[in-house]
């Protein structure tokens, strides 16, 4: 996959999508280049469900707005700046008695200027789509929409966009995008790379130290079957994740190819991260978008992207944290 010689990429259509956790982050993130913001808040009375009933796959306070009032102010401020704000309600499923709390939250947010909701639960999607027809609905990566058939199913339920799973290659993404042209698609770009398939993962990310299950050293043993070289490779690869820094996850090299594939947005991970980290990631992504738009030489662009990653994170590239390892050459 290479850039067409003599043809500049039209990358401005790919928005940079940034997490936001506090009211005072809204303006700096927008000024830094965020084309969309996404974030969450605990609905009133949600604490009765405890930590393991996550409203949005984040269980620590720093990954939520501190109050519903500040959350609604953040939505209004974002809308006032012309930047859409999306509410994260992306747990894989919710119980029937939780739906009224979520519907009330969405109603309040919609009054404040909410653009849409990021979710995974098909039941919640159906009910919110019926009650809030003017909002956009984005299928989270927790929905695990890894092929065109899955996307079409969610499209029938009412999604407008889908965040494609982390494990797909750019070529696989391009095929899905081409097969479902009436849906927009986003892909992950920076930080948070995970060895597990997120939509199928049942680990709880509830550590107060923010050490996630895939970072904890553990050993896999083969219970049944042969100990072939392929099995040994899988075991060794899993063990290597406890020595990898997921916060260095990067897909910068793939930006030209993601643009050609027709992606709508590039999503930055980082709910709960400090503002300085969010701003640094936005600056890096924006710079690489500009580089890709101004180049018709993929090799030259790639060298610049690799160098930019090294400057930002202070470490070399690694296949573990490379979002699109088909472009990893082992520098």
With respect to residue 301, please indicate whether it lies within any of the assigned structural domains.
yes
Residue range 52-107, pLDDT digits in tens = 678 887 777 778 999 999 999 999 999 999 999 999 999 988 999 999 999 999 99
Please give the Cα distance from 259 to 13 (Å, whole number): 8
Question: pLDDT band for position 225 (50/70/90)?
Answer: low
With respect to residue 154, please indicate whether it lies within any of the assigned structural domains.
yes
The pLDDT assigned to 44 comes to 86
CATH for 288:
3.20.20.70
With respect to residue 200, please indicate whether it lies within any of the assigned structural domains.
yes
With respect to residue 9, please indicate whether it lies within any of the assigned structural domains.
no
With respect to residue 314, please indicate whether it lies within any of the assigned structural domains.
yes
- The predicted model scores a pTM of 0.88
Could you give the number of structural domains in the chain? 1
Q: What is the DSSP string of 90-135?
A: --S---GGGHHHHHHHHHHHHHHT--EEEE--HHHHHHHHHH-TTS
Residue range 167-217, pLDDT digits in tens = 899 999 999 999 999 999 999 999 888 777 777 777 766 676 767 777 777
With respect to residue 6, please indicate whether it lies within any of the assigned structural domains.
no
Question: pLDDT band for position 227 (50/70/90)?
Answer: low
With respect to residue 41, please indicate whether it lies within any of the assigned structural domains.
yes
Please give the Cα distance from 21 to 32 (Å, whole number): 16
- CA 65 from chain centre, in angstroms, equals 18
Please give the Cα distance from 70 to 73 (Å, whole number): 5
Domain region containing 186:
15-322
With respect to residue 19, please indicate whether it lies within any of the assigned structural domains.
yes
């Amino acid at each position: 996959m290479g850039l067409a010689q003599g043809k500049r990429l039209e990358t401005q259509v790919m928005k940079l999508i940034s997490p936001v956790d506090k009211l005072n982050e809204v303006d700096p993130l927008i000024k830094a280049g965020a084309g969309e913001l996404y974030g969450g808040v605990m609905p009133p009375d949600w604490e009765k469900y405890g930590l393991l009933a996550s409203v949005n796959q984040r269980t620590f306070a720093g990954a939520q707005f501190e109050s519903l009032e500040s959350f609604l102010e953040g939505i209004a401020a974002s809308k006032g700046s012309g930047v859409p704000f999306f509410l994260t309600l992306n747990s894989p499923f919710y119980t029937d008695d939780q739906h009224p709390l979520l519907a009330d939250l969405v109603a309040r947010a919609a009054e404040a200027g909410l653009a849409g909701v990021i979710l995974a639960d098909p039941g919640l999607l159906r009910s919110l789509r019926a009650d809030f027809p003017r909002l956009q609905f984005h299928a989270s990566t927790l929905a695990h929409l890894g092929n065109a058939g899955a996307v079409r199913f969610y499209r029938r339920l009412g999604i407008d966009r889908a965040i494609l799973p982390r494990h797909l290659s750019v070529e696989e993404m391009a095929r899905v995008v081409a097969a479902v042209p009436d849906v927009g698609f986003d892909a992950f770009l920076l930080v948070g790379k995970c060895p597990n398939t997120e939509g199928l993962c049942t680990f709880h990310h509830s550590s107060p130290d923010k050490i996630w299950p895939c970072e904890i050293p553990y050993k896999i043993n083969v219970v049944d079957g042969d100990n072939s070289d392929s099995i040994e490779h899988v075991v060794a690869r899993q063990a290597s994740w406890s020595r990898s820094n997921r916060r260095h996850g990067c897909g910068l090299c793939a930006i030209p190819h993601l643009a050609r594939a027709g992606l709508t947005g590039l999503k930055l991970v980082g709910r709960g991260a400090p503002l300085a980290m969010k701003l640094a990631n936005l600056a890096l992504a924006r710079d690489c978008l500009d580089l890709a738009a101004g180049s018709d030489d993929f090799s030259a662009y790639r060298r610049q992207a690799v160098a930019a990653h090294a400057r930002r994170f202070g470490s070399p590239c690694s296949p573990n944290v490379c979002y699109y390892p088909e472009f990893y050459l082992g520098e």
